[in-house]
Amino acid sequence: MGIKMILNAKAVYGVPVKIFTTDVDEQSLTQLRKMAQLEFIHSHIAVMPDVHVGKGATVGSVIPTKQAIIPAAVGVDIGCGMNALRLSLKAEQLPDNLSALRNAIERKVPVGFEMHKQVRAKASTLTPMEKRLERITRKHPGLTRMLRHFNSTWQKQLGTLGGGNHFIELCLDENQDVWVMLHSGSRGLGNAIGTYFIERAKKEAQHRFGHVPDRDLSYFAEGSSLFDDYFEAVEWAQEYAYENRREMMRLILEAIRPLLPSFQMTKEAINCHHNYVQKELHFDEEVYVTRKGAIRAGKDEYGIIPGSMGAASFIVKGKGNPESFCSCSHGAGRKMSRSKAKISFSQQDLIQQTQGIECRKDKGVVDEIPGAYKDIHEVMANQQDLIEVVHTLRQVLCIKG
């Protein structure tokens, strides 16, 4: 079950687009054709089976670039990703009613626009991050005006969930082992960094590589000061996202310990990005790989592919497929927009589709209803050449931002 479609670029310059599914909407195909026209794309663009239209670049795309980075392809939720940890508990050790666990986690981990009242993270984590951030804001003081109470906000948001499709879950695997799983990114400051540099790229368009078919594909060329500044800032945001998930996991475990039998953490722990850029070697050339809604799936590397809030999720191991640039999907992928989901489904639909799961069932999360997402099992079937499944999880508790 490998590549299902190939778009061959018809522009003066272009690369193929190799797609691991046939379930692709027209808007996504249009975006992908534009991306393929960029002269600095290396080899081809790979598209994962959870593909859907995105802002700037198509979600589910893996974009290898030579001597350039597209800030809008990385996006504004820089470093967004997953964290999962298996506990030494069995399903039978969980209480019959999980509402107390959900309430305890929500008291410890702020969700939505909320943040901690005081800084919770350790100074050993914050101090080096603060020093690196000061270097970035000295060069770009405009960043500090994009976030209210700049310094205190990014520190108080460390260890918080955010909104949208970010979540915290308790899950059970095929052996009835208990897992804690969460999905979050770089919060307000990551958004500010992404927005700031996307606008700079559009305003100060560079033309080293010729025509750009869409302003959202404006780029920074390697060797320019803005390229170096952006790469430093995006690396900072990716580290922040990683630490945010780690701090959240610590707080979740702290919240649930008093309510459960004594437990230990197993060695199976995964913390991975799915919106990020980093330097990698592919087809004998060092390139910048932007994964826009995709995770790295190098040979024997572990990753997490969540379904919707009413479907299975998967712990996977990569096969290192070169055609996908050692990547796989980051989830099920939306099949309809949030606005369409809100008018297509009712609160009763949500209640029905999340039966047996301790979670919010109000109108405020109807846009996250399982029916708004692609079938995760079809998505997984389309990437058998990319990953192997290690564990299959089903959620019993879900907290949405």
How many residues appear in the chain?
Answer: 401
Confidence band for 396, pLDDT divided at 50, 70 and 90? very high
Residues 145 and 199: their CA atoms lie apart, in Å, by 15
Residue 121 annotated as binding?
Answer: no
φ, ψ of residue 69 in degrees (nearest 5) = -135, 140
* Tens of pLDDT, residues 316-367: 999 999 999 999 999 999 999 999 999 999 999 999 999 999 999 999 999 9
CA of 365: how far to CAs of 112, 155, 270, 318, 349, in Å?
Answer: 12, 27, 27, 32, 11
The yes-or-no verdict on residue 368 having pLDDT over 90 is yes
Residue 175 annotated as binding?
Answer: no
φ, ψ of residue 351 in degrees (nearest 5) = -60, -45
Residue 169 annotated as binding?
Answer: yes
Q: What is the pLDDT of residue 9?
A: 64
Residues 82 and 362: their CA atoms lie apart, in Å, by 25
Q: What is the pLDDT of residue 107?
A: 97
5-335+373-400 folds as: tRNA-splicing ligase RtcB (3.90.1860)
Among 224, 80, 281, residue whose Cα is nearest residue 165 = 80
CB 175 within 8 A of CB 89: no
- The per-residue pLDDT of the chain, averaged, comes to 95
The residues near 124 (Cβ < 8 Å, ≥ 6 apart) are: none
Helix 99-108 × helix 225-256 angle, to 10°: 140
Residue 321 annotated as binding?
Answer: no
The yes-or-no verdict on residue 127 having pLDDT over 60 is yes
Residues 393 and 313: their CA atoms lie apart, in Å, by 5
Query: Which active-site residues does the annotation give?
Result: 330
Across the range 104-123, mean pLDDT stands at 95
Across the range 68-86, mean pLDDT stands at 97
- Give the pair of three-digit tokens for residue 101: 């666990």
The yes-or-no verdict on residue 167 having pLDDT over 70 is yes
Among 64, 48, 54, residue whose Cα is nearest residue 3 = 48
CA of 64: how far to CAs of 83, 276, 280, in Å?
Answer: 25, 12, 9
CB 240 within 8 A of CB 247: no
The residues near 83 (Cβ < 8 Å, ≥ 6 apart) are: 181, 182, 183, 245, 246, 248, 249, 269, 270, 271, 272, 304
Q: What is the pLDDT of residue 11?
A: 53
pTM of the model: 0.95
Residues 388 and 384: their CA atoms lie apart, in Å, by 7
3 state DSSP class of 112:
coil
Q: What is the pLDDT of residue 14?
A: 86
Q: What is the pLDDT of residue 10?
A: 58
The yes-or-no verdict on residue 84 having pLDDT over 80 is yes
3 state DSSP class of 98:
coil
* Tens of pLDDT, residues 301-310: 999 999 988 8
φ, ψ of residue 363 in degrees (nearest 5) = -60, -20
Using CB atoms within 10 A of its CB, is residue 106 exposed (0-12), middle (13-18) or buried (19+)?
A: middle
Residue 3 annotated as binding?
Answer: no
